[in-house]
Structure formats: C-alpha cells, structure tokens
Structure 1
Amino acid sequence: MKNKSLVPVFFCIPDLTGFTKFITSTETVFANQVITDLLNQIVSSNMLDMKVAEVEGDAVFFYRTGRLPAVGKVAKQCKNIYDTFKEKIDSYQTSHPEEYQQFLADEQLGIKIVIHFGHISLVKIEGRTKLMGEDVILVHKLLKNGIPEPNYILLTDNYTLKLKDKKTVKNWFNWESVKKGSEQYEHFGLTHYSYISLVDCKNFKKKKSQLPKSLPRIISNPS
C-alpha cells in the first residue's frame, strides 16, 4: 500500500539521444548553441501545464501532479515536442550547413520521450521544490534502455495500466506500430514498457472507421 503522504504524479521526460557523441565530437561553441536552443524549445513546447523539476544537461524533467492528463493530450504533447525538436534541427541546415551535414544530418541527434506514472514526495531544499521517491529514480533509469530507435516515445506499464479506458491508447498511439520492451534494473527488477518510433507518429489520431476491431498483437522487442 502506498504511503498516504505520497503524491500521484505524471512524468514526461524528453531526453536527447546521441548527446554524448555530439558533445564530444562537435566544436564546443556550436554544440553549446545547439543544445541550449533545443532545450529552450522543448521547455517552451509545454502544452500540459507541466512543471519543470530540472533541466539535466540533455533532458527536461517535466512533471504534473493531480489528475492524469487525457491520452489525447499526452499524444499531442509528445508530437509537439518532436515537431519542435525536428524544426529546430532542420533550421541548422540553412544557418550552419557544414556543421549540419557533419554532426546533425541522418538523425545523429535524436529525442526520446519517457512517459510514466508514479508517486513522489515534494520537499523544499533551499527554497526549491525537489521531487523524491522511488519513481523519480526509476524514471531516470528508464532513460538508459536498449531501444534502438533514435526518436521514440516510451510508455511504462505503470502509465498504461493507470488509464481508465485502455482503448484510447490504440486510438492515439498507432498501436499497430507499438512494440513491447523491458529492462532489468537493480533494486527494481524487470520493468515493462511499450514504445513507438516518433517517425511512426506523424498522424496520432485515427478516424473511427480506421480503428481495428480488436487490439493487434504487440511485436516483441528482440532480445
């Protein structure tokens, strides 16, 4: 049973993929400009009235307490983050063509978005609100996983099982393209999730007439 003092929370963490290689192989001034621009754009793409707990080098740690946002709004938020990211990356093709071709073309720098539901404690440290609890640790661990895609959304089972209407997930996240995965994390054991490439999310919502009558079998992530 969860401690009554714990607060239910929705996590949304956009995190840059290929960050370490980009930082270590790119000229410092250009690398700093790109990362700063991208993180600022991601923060400004917030449509769900989420709070920013931290900006952590290559990730924005969004969270929202209270009522879980509707699946459609979460899907739109993910699409907005990706569109904002892609638009900014594409802009360097004009402003810095040589650097773009060498360091940014062909999805060398991508983005993953981790969606999770859990519980936290909110504490004040030197006037700042800090998030504490096992789900804070777990959601950070989930940023390190074996998914091969450069751009994707990861939906933890903790999140999808919390949804009252499971059918809404397949409506918004192109469920026929979703794959299953899991990671073994120390102290947490086997953690299950679903994921979908952001490239497959060009059109999040399908027309009712196009929806499958039953949920398709989910393709397993090969081990």
Structure 2
Amino acid sequence: MPPVEKKVILVIADISGYTRFMTKNRMELIHSQHLIGELLKAIIREVDIPLQVAEIEGDAVFMYALRPNSQAKWQKAKEQISNKLVSFILAFSRKLDYLTGSNTCHCGACGSLEQLKLKVVVHAGEAVLDKIANFTTLHGLDTILVHSLLKNSVDAAQYIMLTKAAQQELGFQTGGPFGEGSEEYPDLGKVETLVWTDPLEGIASGEKITKPAYGILDKTKRKIGLMAATMALGLKLKKTGRFRNLPPGD
C-alpha cells in the first residue's frame, strides 16, 4: 500500500511517573515492567472502533481514528471517542487500585505503584499512513505535535488535554471542567489547549461530567456520567476497605 494522507484524531494515553518508577526500582526491573504491562493492557482493553492502536510506546498507548466519508458516521465516531477519554483514566485507575489492594508483595515496585497516574492527550489533524512490512505507521507534523505535548507546563500528573483543533473537531465546549492554556515548541510554534486536571476526582464527586461543557449530546453524556460516577465512587470505597479477595475488575 502506498503512503496515503488521512484526516485523523490522535490520542496518547501516557503513564505519568514511569521514568521515576523504573529508576527507583531498577533492581526489580522485570517485576516493575510486569506491573506497567498490566496497566497498559487495562488501557488497551478500552480501545474500540473507531480508535485503533498505532503503537505501544514504552509507557504509552498511541491511538488514532480515521475520519470516514459519511458525516453521520463521523458524528457517531466523535461521540465514541469523547466517551473513551474518560474511560481510559477510569480503567487505569481500576487496575491500579486492584494491583495495590490485592497484592501482598512488599517490594519497592509494588509499594510505589500508587505514584503512577495517567494523562490523555488528544489532537486532530492529518497524518500520512504508511505500510512498512506488516506494520501501519503514522507520520507528519500532527503526529509530532501530539507527542510533543506530552512534555508540557501542566502542573498535574493526571489530566485530559485537548488541543484547540481537537476541541473543535470533537465538539467540546470551552469552560466547565476544562481550563484554557497553551504550549510552545521549537518549529511547531504556539499550541492552544484545553486541560481538565484530575478528572477522576471530578467524576467521583458527581459533578462536571454531566454538564454541556463536557459532552456533545447531553442525553448520552448524562448516562455516561452516571455510569462513570458510580465506577469512580466504587473505587474510593474499595480503597478504603482494601478488600484483598476480590477478582480483577477487567
């Protein structure tokens, strides 16, 4: 297949604190990587059409969604992608809670798991898809930009970041849980962003996610909001009790 340029939504779910975690536990590298692998698998299980996994990048899952020709299909796809942004953080948190709550191991890696968080970065633009051997690879300025955004000025370990292009494409309104910001990079210039810091706390409180500022379709988002709030509150109750005989959540 020759290289082809497509309109895409690009998403990276990246584990915050990975380098510190691996460095701190360099004597337990195999065990440490096993734990990271379990967290990455929890994210990957949430990936569904229209999103596809492009690559596993050490501590991150790089995903993309191609824009279909049908406007009706694209509208539905955008709603699905919007819902997934929160689902990734919820799935990560559920798995992290299970690993910390059910593990009787006292090694450094298990003891420092709770320091790990998840950041989700989203951008909309164009990418060149190329088939190299058996792999489909993505190239172009927009793929460089979304990766560059992982290094930013946000003073939080867990958040959802949308570029202005992603916000406009997905239909998110400004305000509400999202604060406006910007980043600047050599060659790429200034990038306007919207950031929701610590979305898990917002969901657990039962606020923000049901407001129009979060979603595209209010009715759909109210349902998603109630489900997400229930799951998140369940997390907090489970953390308090530390029930160690429960099966994995996913």
One of 85, 88, 111 as aligned partner of 1:78: 85
Number of residue pairs matched by the alignment? 196
Residue pair 2:176, 2:211 contacting (<8 A) in 1 also: no
Residue pair 2:50, 2:66 contacting (<8 A) in 1 also: no
Residue pair 1:13, 1:62 contacting (<8 A) in 2 also: yes
Aligned to 2:190: 190
Task: Give the distance between the partners of 2:127 and 2:110, measured in 1 at CA.
Answer: 43
**Which piece of structure 1 moves more, 23-32 or 66-75?**
66-75
Question: Deviation of residue 71 (structure 1)?
Answer: 5.0
Question: Deviation of residue 61 (structure 1)?
Answer: 0.6
| Deviation per residue, 1:39-73 (Å, 9 max, x gap) | 11111111343111110001111101024455543
Task: Give the distance between the partners of 1:96 and 1:139, measured in 2 at CA.
Answer: 38
Partner-residue secondary structure (3-state), 2:63: strand
TM-score by length of 1: 0.79
**Which piece of structure 1 moves more, 73-82 or 6-15?**
73-82
Aligned to 1:162: 169
> Taking structure 1 as reference, are residues 70 and 53 closer, same or farther at Cα in structure 2, changes over 3 Å only?
closer
Aligned to 2:112: 103
More helix by share: 2
Question: Deviation of residue 125 (structure 1)?
Answer: 1.4
Task: Give the distance between the partners of 2:125 and 2:104, measured in 1 at CA.
Answer: 41
TM-score by length of 2: 0.71
Residue pair 1:35, 1:58 contacting (<8 A) in 2 also: yes
Aligned to 2:66: 65
Unaligned regions of 5+ residues in structure 2, if any?
Answer: 69-73, 213-217, 219-250
Question: Deviation of residue 206 (structure 1)?
Answer: 3.4
Task: Give the distance between the partners of 2:105 and 2:183, measured in 1 at CA.
Answer: 38
Question: Deviation of residue 29 (structure 1)?
Answer: 2.6
Task: Give the distance between the partners of 2:187 and 2:127, measured in 1 at CA.
Answer: 17
User: 1:205 and 2:210 equivalent?
Assistant: yes
Task: Give the distance between the partners of 1:102 and 1:206, measured in 2 at CA.
Answer: 37
User: 1:87 and 2:90 equivalent?
Assistant: no
